[in-house]
Structure 1
Amino acid sequence: MKLLLITASAHEIRQIRKTRVINFQQVTMPYLAALTPANWEVEHIDEGQERIDFNIEVDLVGITFHTPSANHVYEIAAEFRKRGIPVAMGGPHVSLLPDEAENHADAVFIGEAEDTWKEFLADFENKQFKKRYEQKNPSSLINLPMARKDLFHRRDHSGGIMFATRGCPNKCEFCALAIMYSSNFRKRPVAEVAREYGSFEGKVIIFWDDNIAADPNYAKDLFKAIAPYKKWWSSQTSIHAGWNDELLELAAKSGCKQLFLGLESVSQISLDHANKSFNRVEDYYKIIKKIHSYGISVQVGIIFGFDEDDKSIFGKTMTFLEAAGVQNATFNVLTPYPGTPLFKRLESEGRILTYDWSKYNGRRDVVFKPKNMTCDELLEGFKRVNSQFYSLKSTGKRLSKSTAGLWWTLPLNLSYYFSYKLYGPK
């Protein structure tokens, strides 16, 4: 039998991502393909790289997607179903809104899928599959197969994409992880992760983890295990990692070139109200300086639009980022994804402005009513910070604070500068 897996991305999202220079591909579908029985022939289309051929001859289509691509995916599904090809859906949006997704698919997957995917395929072959598959218990992360390397299609400057851990122990108001992974934070066996890490031919590996150092002892063991492969790697972690000298030293020795920190805001009151009070703004400078001291560059995630934010937040953020010498940053407009505590609160307050999921992109639209500025002021401030951060002036200020990764962060910043000039919002 033949299976087509699609990593979906709406046109608007692909346009937005053009400004980001580096867009690491998702590991979901190459990994799901590895879980598929050998009697299935599997193809993968990553819409970030290639177009969908609706005339392809397959027995089944599987699609994974995030909220801003939902409308687009429902159109894709309609096209295949019109041709008599069943469509299965999974991913973040399906887990958040299964009832909606179920109206557009032959089968939907809620939450994790290690066990339910195999169950579904067996049911499909027997022509008696169910409409909904929900994994009630957390998946075992032991003896997992390696993702299918032949199904990674995107040219994203990495030599390999993988994961070591799943989920995050924190429960921030705006984050969907706690909804998707109710079982919280879990880890793959270190030896199995190291084996997959070493199996990639490329030099640069991306750990697609939400918080790779959430368990410091596990992270230390992992870094020791991957160090002999002499590769470079990057991942995401909470700021707690910045206090742990032993962890940072092992990370650096194992090849860590950059850590992504979800700072979210330079306003402590915003963090407190978003259930992220473990981030202490007063510690940001010290943590970033410590990470830099190990030769590791820092990329931060910043969100604008918290209830406590007014128009001054944009200038305060730029001042901090330049003074701290942050090498890279990802900026987002606060987006209340359906099913999250933030969405439920804003909806109860009558502040959700649209249910058009295509506008839940975090960069071009504001989908709720801010408290201390207008939607236009929020969006304009967001655009201004993006432009200022990757300007030549700001790049010079920031990169002069630390030489960590300068040989590659300088070219990357210049690439973002030119990319934003070409593709950024006008």
Structure 2
Amino acid sequence: MSRIKRVMLAQPASAGGNFEYIAIPRQGLLFLSGALAQWEGPYLYEREIWFEDRCGLIDPNKDLEGVDILMVSSLINETPRAYTLASLAKMYHPDIITIGGGPQMSPLPGEAIECGMFDVIVNREGEDIIGLLCDVLLEFPQGEREKYLTKIPGITFLQDGHMVATRRTGLVQPDFVPLPDFRSIRDLTPQHPLAGGVLETVRGCTEKCTYCQVIQQFLGYRIINRETELLRLKQLEDLAADGLIHVSRNGKFNVFISDDLHAPPLRAVKFRNERFERLKSWKGHTDNMYMICQARVEVGQDPELANAMQEANIKMIYAGVESSSAENLKAVNKRQDPTQVHRDLVTLNHAGFTMVAMTIIGLPYDTEESIMAMADWVTGLSRYQTVNLLTPLPATSNWHALKPLNERGELLQPGEMRPYHLYTGRQFVHEDPRWSMQESRELFLRYSAKLHSIDDLYGRIFRIMRSYRLRLHDQRAEVV
């Protein structure tokens, strides 16, 4: 039996139609692939990472031929595709091993195993166990492997018709895998580069917003080592130099810092001071980068930190404005005051940052009038905006507190599966006395029409990249 095993790591196509999903690849699979690369066990794992939004849909029959292990991670609106892909993989290739995970399947492992026919679901993070898990699944047949699986922490699987969930203690070190495995991304070539690099420096969040899934999937607020941070910046420079990240005519390339909260809140003094010192150390390492991060607007009250961000070439900030209503913010445990948010946005705009205001509509105290007024307010304070209707997500309090609807907009009946393909933030998927599902869609469109969508920017980036590739092709053709 060959020691070399093929692993396909798949991110299913999203139902959202959002350019960000293509421009900014999520890193979970990159770290899992890196973990398999550094694992020392009886097998050598050849890896391919397939982002369907980037590379097109996987044909489970043809594309999984010869694949030993299929790993699938999905967000909520990608779940139907994830279940279909995994179950078809089993149908066409009965011996293939399937492993699921991510923020959707992790809190709902029973559903994932039943609907997707997965062998194992990894709960929360899994870099530290994925090598051993793959070894066990390959080494032992079903019926024999279960006694070994019970010794692997943080997984769920079926044993004798019953779900078994093993307990995990402690957290994964955020740089357990020092460098994400970008080079295993399918079709990553100078002819098809990434629109930008992605950098993780922190896992988790200091906040406890009730609607947020991040704090459930990534516990705590864990910062990687300083040395690892610089290594990851160097990795992005190398990828750009090799043509695997698109570089603009001015020699710069985009880097999205994927931390849920890169610059921590001012009250988290220790974390804030650490971030300030690290940003100063970035000087000389980020000269060719145009960096984008997510931060609270209160960084506008910290000119020292804001200046350090700009010196490190952080030029765009995604800010969780969420709502212009203090009552709404209190209801979802978002610790900020709209009046201060207004002042902070003015300050950050004057400082030269390009601001992207993230908003949520359909919160408890919203009315149509207040929502439209917020659109006028937020477009006057930020260059770009995003919007989502309040959407219940697994592991958050809203998942059980809000009554789910089916795809017809009626209350979900026992035995019906939630219409995950509609969980895009573009319509209500729960019962609300103010708006039906269809009315919420119309409200979303009216609100969105008043915004300067960040999607327009990503669309422009893709058009520029396409034009650039065509020019290169023409130049090479002339040389030949």
- TM-score by structure 2 length? 0.76
Q: How big is each residue's C-alpha offset from its partner over 1:28-84, in whole Å with a ceiling of 9 and x where there is no partner?
A: 212211110461110111100222132231111000101111122111111111111
Letter in 2 for 1:291: L
Offset of residue 126 of structure 1: 2.3
Rounded to whole Å, the distance in 2 between the matches of 1:93 and 1:81 is: 20
Q: Tell me if structure 1 keeps the 8 A contact 2:22–2:54.
A: no
1:137 equivalent in structure 2: 170
For this pair of structures, how many residues does the alignment match?
392
Question: 2:343 aligned with 1:286, yes or no?
Answer: yes
- For the structure 1 residues 114 and 22, does the alpha-carbon distance in structure 2 shift closer, same or farther, using more than 3 Å as the test? closer
Q: Tell me if structure 2 keeps the 8 A contact 1:165–1:185.
A: yes
Q: Tell me if structure 1 keeps the 8 A contact 2:403–2:431.
A: no
1:27 equivalent in structure 2: 27
Letter in 2 for 1:217: N
Comparing 249-258 with 149-158, which one deviates more in the overlay? Answer: 149-158
1:123 equivalent in structure 2: 136
Rounded to whole Å, the distance in 2 between the matches of 1:189 and 1:122 is: 29
2:212 equivalent in structure 1: 175
State which of 164, 167, 184 in structure 1 corresponds to 2:220.
184
What are the ranges of 5 or more consecutive residues in structure 2 without an aligned counterpart?
39-43, 150-156, 158-164, 241-252, 265-270, 413-417, 464-480
Comparing 110-119 with 373-382, which one deviates more in the overlay? Answer: 373-382
State which of 368, 378, 384 in structure 2 corresponds to 1:321.
378
What are the ranges of 5 or more consecutive residues in structure 1 without an aligned counterpart?
392-408, 419-426
Rounded to whole Å, the distance in 2 between the matches of 1:347 and 1:380 is: 21
- For the structure 1 residues 34 and 319, does the alpha-carbon distance in structure 2 shift closer, same or farther, using more than 3 Å as the test? same
- For the structure 1 residues 61 and 25, does the alpha-carbon distance in structure 2 shift closer, same or farther, using more than 3 Å as the test? same
Comparing 302-311 with 150-159, which one deviates more in the overlay? Answer: 150-159
Letter in 2 for 1:123: V
State which of 394, 415, 425 in structure 2 corresponds to 1:338.
394
Offset of residue 347 of structure 1: 3.8
The equivalences for 1:73-88 within 5 A come to 73-82=82-91, 83-84=93-94, 85-88=96-99
SS in 1 for 2:402: helix
1:401 equivalent in structure 2: none
Q: Tell me if structure 2 keeps the 8 A contact 1:116–1:133.
A: no
- For the structure 1 residues 413 and 390, does the alpha-carbon distance in structure 2 shift closer, same or farther, using more than 3 Å as the test? farther
Q: Tell me if structure 2 keeps the 8 A contact 1:111–1:135.
A: no
1:258 equivalent in structure 2: 316
State which of 156, 160, 164 in structure 1 corresponds to 2:197.
160
Rounded to whole Å, the distance in 1 between the matches of 2:108 and 2:296 is: 27
SS in 2 for 1:200: helix
Among the aligned pairs, what percent are the same residue? 19
| Cα RMSD for the two superposed structures | 2.8
Rounded to whole Å, the distance in 1 between the matches of 2:100 and 2:125 is: 12
Comparing 33-42 with 131-140, which one deviates more in the overlay? Answer: 131-140
2:243 equivalent in structure 1: none
Letter in 2 for 1:89: G
SS in 2 for 1:3: strand
- For the structure 1 residues 73 and 157, does the alpha-carbon distance in structure 2 shift closer, same or farther, using more than 3 Å as the test? closer
Offset of residue 158 of structure 1: 3.8
Offset of residue 304 of structure 1: 0.8
Rounded to whole Å, the distance in 2 between the matches of 1:52 and 1:414 is: 24
- For the structure 1 residues 272 and 86, does the alpha-carbon distance in structure 2 shift closer, same or farther, using more than 3 Å as the test? same
- TM-score by structure 1 length? 0.85
Question: 2:298 aligned with 1:240, yes or no?
Answer: yes
Q: Tell me if structure 2 keeps the 8 A contact 1:173–1:274.
A: yes
Question: 2:183 aligned with 1:150, yes or no?
Answer: yes
Q: Which has more helix, going by share of residues?
A: 1
- For the structure 1 residues 142 and 410, does the alpha-carbon distance in structure 2 shift closer, same or farther, using more than 3 Å as the test? closer
Question: 2:402 aligned with 1:357, yes or no?
Answer: no
SS in 1 for 2:233: helix
Q: How big is each residue's C-alpha offset from its partner over 1:258-292, in whole Å with a ceiling of 9 and x where there is no partner?
A: 0101111111111111111x121011221112222
Question: 2:4 aligned with 1:4, yes or no?
Answer: no
Q: Tell me if structure 1 keeps the 8 A contact 2:198–2:255.
A: yes
Rounded to whole Å, the distance in 2 between the matches of 1:63 and 1:134 is: 22
Rounded to whole Å, the distance in 1 between the matches of 2:70 and 2:236 is: 28
Offset of residue 415 of structure 1: 4.3
- For the structure 1 residues 410 and 370, does the alpha-carbon distance in structure 2 shift closer, same or farther, using more than 3 Å as the test? closer
Q: How big is each residue's C-alpha offset from its partner over 1:366-388, in whole Å with a ceiling of 9 and x where there is no partner?
A: 11122434433332121112222
State which of 96, 99, 105 in structure 1 corresponds to 2:110.
99
SS in 2 for 1:205: strand
